[in-house]
């Protein structure tokens, strides 16, 4: 069960990291466009706020281990089979690396 928890944590942290990098890169790109005069400062601010809002909508807080374990108790047999298959795929990919 420890590997499941660790794999879930890795997956969640990877998603958060990707979102953070995307936000930083988009801000850099907007700043470059403003410097080149292709966007006004106001347009850049509005676009940056829209990007932040979109990222916040897409990111939901990661559930803690206890919540995940509680949800496992209420899952159907079909859902558990899908989860098991996904875990096996992740473990296989991790072993290949």
pLDDT in tens, 7-61: 777 777 777 777 777 778 888 887 777 777 766 777 777 888 888 877 777 776 7
pTM: 0.36
Residue pair 26/52 in contact by the 8 Å Cβ criterion: no
Computed on alpha carbons and rounded to an integer, the radius of gyration of the chain in Å comes to 19
Domain around 32: 1-62
Residues 48 and 81 in one domain: no
Residues 27 and 43 in one domain: yes
For helices 2-36 and 77-96, give the axis angle rounded to 10 degrees: 70
Residues 73 and 88 in one domain: yes
Any alpha helices (H) in 59-76, and if so which ranges? 65-74
């Amino acid at each position: 069960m420890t590997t499941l928890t660790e794999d879930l944590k890795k997956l969640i942290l990877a998603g958060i990291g990707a979102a953070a990098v995307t936000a930083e890169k988009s801000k850099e790109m907007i700043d470059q466009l403003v410097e080149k005069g292709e966007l006004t400062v106001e347009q850049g601010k509005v676009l940056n706020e829209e990007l932040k809002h979109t990222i916040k909508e897409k990111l939901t807080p990661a559930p803690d281990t206890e919540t995940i374990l509680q949800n496992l108790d209420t899952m159907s047999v079909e859902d558990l089979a899908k989860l098991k298959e996904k875990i096996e795929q992740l473990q296989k990919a991790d072993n290949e690396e």
